[in-house]
């Protein structure tokens, strides 16, 4: 993920200067007062960008310190900076509405559009309520970062240690204990989160939206309901593939753990899938590995044999971008990033990419282990950094990705090029496995990328309904698990009740990070990959393509990245792919050999739950 202090988005439609401009559908532009002029609009935007740029830098620095030194004081400092930024943005977004109806230059009209819907956490205009909201937000994220499970008579375990148990243990009791221990971190958040919803919804309504969820769904150059329909269309494209993968994995887990623990026709217990949230299943590959498969490779073992340190791991990622023609990372990146979990303090280890000055001070923050997952994550996070640097020539309101799914997809696109051929070229792999080894490799990838799809969808499905009031506080947890069962086909390992608040055990809920971007990214990355492989002159199976070393692909990618959010996302998509609609067809093409293999494996096996 990446950190951004402002989310520049689109919404419902009025017309300003011939350009579609976002105003909340429930509210018309204010009337009365002296007529505004185009010259005033240009001056307003110029001053607004200068002010927001300064405040965003101050906020980024405060949030960086908060994430790297979790204390009551750093939370208070970050909350104050966030409050100042929100206050200014709310004020400017409200003032910008007086320019509706003017014939404006297209760039100014678009900036007004982006400013009008710019806050993922809209705050009430009342200063006390706004301050309360930012304090709650800082405390929720801080509680997550400092969360631990302290079993009786044993040392306390943080999330990193608990995730290691989920990934490596095959003892159902130990898995259940680690899962339940971490999920207890959410319960104390429940009342504050309920208040958070109330306050942020008040802010959204003051801006003319029905609720925060409706505001978020307006972020994609589409009306909210139309965007929800697009998400559903994409899910229906990939749902049969996910259900096929689920059926295969479930059958293998039945063989390992028995039908008393894993229902052969039902959902899968969440703690058995190798990940705290059952969002990615790669760590159970050893339990579902195809029998008699051609010899592949274990990237974690390859890395550990080379004995790189955390900095060396990041250098691999930088070298990939350099091979595409991108400039090396600045020296400040190496001086200021966090690569290793400190021993003397609590930090938020969740991997993230940052720009602290909206220019060249780009950084990553992650607690790197020498393992395959972190190798790929580094390539992903650097994708954010190179995107941030590519659009730093744009003015402030255009310094973002075409939509938030693009930012996530770019890093993942690069990670798709971490193929056997790439690993051989950089000296980690002696020989490229034969074509018959593709199915095991694709299965390993699908356990992460395809297994993620319904999880990427349901996080915001839950929040949209929480914000709208369709899910009330007395049903927060029950509704969470109903959606996980519906979309993922998973169930908890222990009885859950409304005394629990399991959504709070997932970072993006207490941190208030919209999540549909990750679902979109898992579709877009394959669409991007297919286009870049074509630019690189590659004609073989899509899953075997690496764009490493292709200056042609790098040039096409750089062109799209540099656009930032200066154009609607279909324009950016077209610049890279020649297409204007997000389509899951490239994902299905990439995994075509695995899909055919799964169909064979699932003959006579129940599919669905």
At 300-326, the pLDDT tens digits run 999 999 999 999 999 999 999 999 999
Catalytic residue among 381, 391, 521, 522: 381
Distances (CA, A) of 522 to 48, 403, 588: 34, 14, 12
For the purposes of burial, counting CB atoms within 10 Å of the CB of 392, is it exposed (0-12), middle (13-18) or buried (19 or more)? Answer: middle
CA 396 to chain centre: 22
The H helix count followed by the E strand count for the chain is 23, 8
Distance CA 23, CA 10 (A): 8
User: Are residues 456 and 515 in contact, defined by beta-carbon separation less than 8 angstroms?
Assistant: yes
How high is the pLDDT of residue 33?
A: 59
How high is the pLDDT of residue 26?
A: 33
pLDDT at 363 over 70: yes
The more confident residue out of 286 and 20 is 286
User: Are residues 429 and 420 in contact, defined by beta-carbon separation less than 8 angstroms?
Assistant: yes
User: Are residues 577 and 531 in contact, defined by beta-carbon separation less than 8 angstroms?
Assistant: yes
Catalytic residue among 351, 553, 575, 584: 351
Catalytic residue among 183, 246, 379, 384: 384
Lowest-pLDDT range, 140-144, 233-237, 239-243? Answer: 140-144
Give the model's confidence band at 295: pLDDT under 50 very low, under 70 low, under 90 confident, else very high. Answer: low
How high is the pLDDT of residue 293?
A: 66
Mean pLDDT of the 29-51 span: 83
pLDDT in tens, 429-438: 998 888 878 9
**Mean pLDDT for the chain?**
90
Mean pLDDT of the 333-342 span: 94
With a CB cutoff of 8 Å and minimum separation 6, the contacts of 449 are 522
pLDDT at 379 over 80: yes
Distances (CA, A) of 159 to 145, 156, 179, 185, 564: 9, 10, 10, 10, 34
pLDDT in tens, 529-548: 999 999 999 999 999 999 99
Give the model's confidence band at 65: pLDDT under 50 very low, under 70 low, under 90 confident, else very high. Answer: very high
Distance CA 609, CA 487 (A): 10
Nearest to 438 by CA among 522, 539, 543, 540: 543
pLDDT in tens, 97-119: 788 788 999 999 989 878 877 77
pLDDT at 7 over 80: no
Distance CA 475, CA 460 (A): 16
How high is the pLDDT of residue 24?
A: 41
Retrieve residue 260's tokens: 């008393």
- Please indicate whether residue 508 is annotated as part of the active site: yes
Mean pLDDT of the 439-467 span: 95
With a CB cutoff of 8 Å and minimum separation 6, the contacts of 255 are none
User: Are residues 30 and 94 in contact, defined by beta-carbon separation less than 8 angstroms?
Assistant: no
Catalytic residue among 183, 246, 271, 350: 350
pTM as predicted: 0.85
The more confident residue out of 9 and 175 is 175
Q: Across the strands, what pairs with 362? A: 355
- Please indicate whether residue 248 is annotated as part of the active site: no
The more confident residue out of 273 and 290 is 273
Distance CA 572, CA 564 (A): 8
- Quickly count: other Cβ atoms within 10 Å of residue 38's Cβ: 16
Give the three-state DSSP class for 354.
Answer: strand
Distances (CA, A) of 186 to 117, 120, 429, 507, 510: 30, 21, 42, 10, 9
pLDDT at 398 over 80: yes
The crossing angle, in degrees rounded to 10, of helices 551-562 and 569-577 is 170
- Please indicate whether residue 384 is annotated as part of the active site: yes
Distance CA 63, CA 78 (A): 5
CA torsion sign for 154, 157, 161, 164 is positive
CA torsion sign for 139, 517, 564, 354 is positive
Catalytic residue among 49, 248, 408, 529: 408
Rounded to whole angstroms, the maximal C-alpha distance in the chain is 78
For the purposes of burial, counting CB atoms within 10 Å of the CB of 393, is it exposed (0-12), middle (13-18) or buried (19 or more)? Answer: exposed
- Please indicate whether residue 84 is annotated as part of the active site: no
How high is the pLDDT of residue 294?
A: 62
- Please indicate whether residue 487 is annotated as part of the active site: no
pLDDT at 25 over 90: no
Distance CA 192, CA 186 (A): 11
- Please indicate whether residue 380 is annotated as part of the active site: yes
Give the model's confidence band at 39: pLDDT under 50 very low, under 70 low, under 90 confident, else very high. Answer: very high
Place of tokens 């909210």: 224
Distance CA 109, CA 19 (A): 7
How high is the pLDDT of residue 97?
A: 76
Give the model's confidence band at 281: pLDDT under 50 very low, under 70 low, under 90 confident, else very high. Answer: very high
Mean pLDDT of the 257-286 span: 96
User: Are residues 126 and 582 in contact, defined by beta-carbon separation less than 8 angstroms?
Assistant: no
Q: Give the DSSP letter of residue 490.
A: E
Q: Give the DSSP letter of residue 267.
A: P
Q: Across the strands, what pairs with 22? A: 13
Give the model's confidence band at 375: pLDDT under 50 very low, under 70 low, under 90 confident, else very high. Answer: very high
Percent of the chain exceeding pLDDT 90 equals 74
Nearest to 416 by CA among 548, 313, 507, 514: 548
- Quickly count: other Cβ atoms within 10 Å of residue 50's Cβ: 12
Q: Give the DSSP letter of residue 185.
A: G
Catalytic residue among 379, 407, 508, 529: 508
Percent of the chain exceeding pLDDT 70 equals 94
């Amino acid at each position: 993920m990446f950190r951004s202090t402002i989310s520049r988005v689109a919404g419902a439609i009025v017309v300003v200067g011939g350009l579609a401009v976002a105003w909340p559908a429930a509210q018309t532009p204010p009337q009365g007062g002296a007529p505004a002029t185009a010259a005033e609009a240009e001056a307003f935007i110029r001053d607004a960008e200068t002010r927001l740029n300064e405040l965003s830098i101050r906020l980024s620095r405060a949030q960086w310190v908060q994430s790297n030194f979790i204390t009551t004081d750093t939370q208070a400092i970050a909350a104050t900076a966030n409050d100042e930024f929100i206050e200014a943005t709310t004020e400017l977004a409200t003032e910008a509405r007086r320019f509706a109806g003017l014939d404006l230059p297209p760039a100014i009209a678009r900036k007004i559009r982006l400013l009008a819907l710019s806050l993922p956490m809209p705050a009430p205009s009342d200063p006390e309520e706004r301050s309360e909201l930012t304090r709650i937000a800082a405390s929720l994220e801080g509680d997550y970062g400092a969360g631990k499970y302290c079993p009786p008579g044993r040392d306390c375990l943080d999330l990193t240690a608990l995730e290691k148990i989920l990934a490596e243990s095959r003892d159902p009791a130990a898995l259940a204990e680690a899962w339940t221990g971490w999920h207890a971190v959410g319960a104390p958040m429940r009342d504050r989160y309920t208040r958070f919803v109330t306050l942020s919804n008040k802010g959204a309504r003051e801006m003319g939206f029905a609720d925060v969820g409706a505001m978020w769904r307006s972020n994609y150059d589409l009306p909210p309901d139309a965007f929800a329909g697009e998400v559903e269309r994409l899910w229906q494209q990939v749902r049969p593939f996910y259900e096929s993968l689920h059926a295969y994995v479930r059958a293998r887990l039945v063989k390992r753990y028995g039908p008393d623990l894993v229902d052969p026709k039902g959902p899968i217990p969440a703690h058995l899938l190798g990940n705290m949230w059952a969002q990615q299943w790669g760590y159970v590959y050893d339990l579902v590995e195809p029998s008699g498969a051609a010899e592949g490779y274990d990237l974690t073992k390859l890395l550990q044999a080379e004995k790189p340190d955390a900095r060396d791991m990041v250098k691999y990622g930088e070298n990939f971008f350099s091979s595409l023609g991108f400039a090396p990372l600045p020296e400040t990146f190496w001086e200021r990033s966090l690569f290793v979990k400190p021993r003397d303090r609590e930090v938020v280890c969740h991997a993230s990419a940052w720009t602290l000055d909206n220019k060249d001070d780009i950084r990553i923050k992650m607690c790197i282990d020498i393992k395959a997952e972190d190798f790929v994550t580094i390539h992903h996070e650097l994708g954010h950094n190179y995107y941030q640097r590519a659009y730093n020539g744009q003015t402030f309101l255009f310094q973002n990705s075409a939509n938030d799914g693009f930012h996530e997809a770019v890093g993942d696109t690069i990670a798709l090029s971490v193929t056997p051929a790439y690993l051989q070229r950089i000296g980690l792999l002696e020989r490229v496995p034969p074509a018959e080894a593709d199915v095991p490799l694709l299965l390993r990838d699908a356990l992460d990328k395809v297994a993620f799809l319904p999880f990427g969808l349901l996080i915001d499905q839950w929040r949209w309904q929480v914000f709208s009031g369709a899910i009330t506080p007395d049903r927060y947890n029950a509704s969470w698990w109903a959606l996980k069962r519906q979309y993922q086909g998973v169930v908890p390992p222990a009885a859950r009740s409304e005394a629990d608040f399991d959504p709070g055990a997932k970072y993006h809920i207490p941190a208030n990070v919209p999540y549909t971007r990750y679902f979109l990214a898992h579709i877009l990355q394959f669409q991007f990959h297919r286009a870049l492989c074509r630019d690189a002159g590659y004609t073989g199976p899509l899953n075997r393509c690496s764009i490493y070393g292709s200056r042609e692909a790098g040039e096409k990618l750089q062109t799209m990245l540099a656009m930032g959010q200066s154009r609607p996302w279909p324009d950016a998509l077209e610049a890279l792919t020649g297409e204007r609609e997000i389509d899951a067809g490239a994902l299905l093409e990439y995994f075509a050999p695995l899909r055919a293999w799964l169909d064979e494996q699932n003959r006579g096996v129940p599919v669905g739950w």
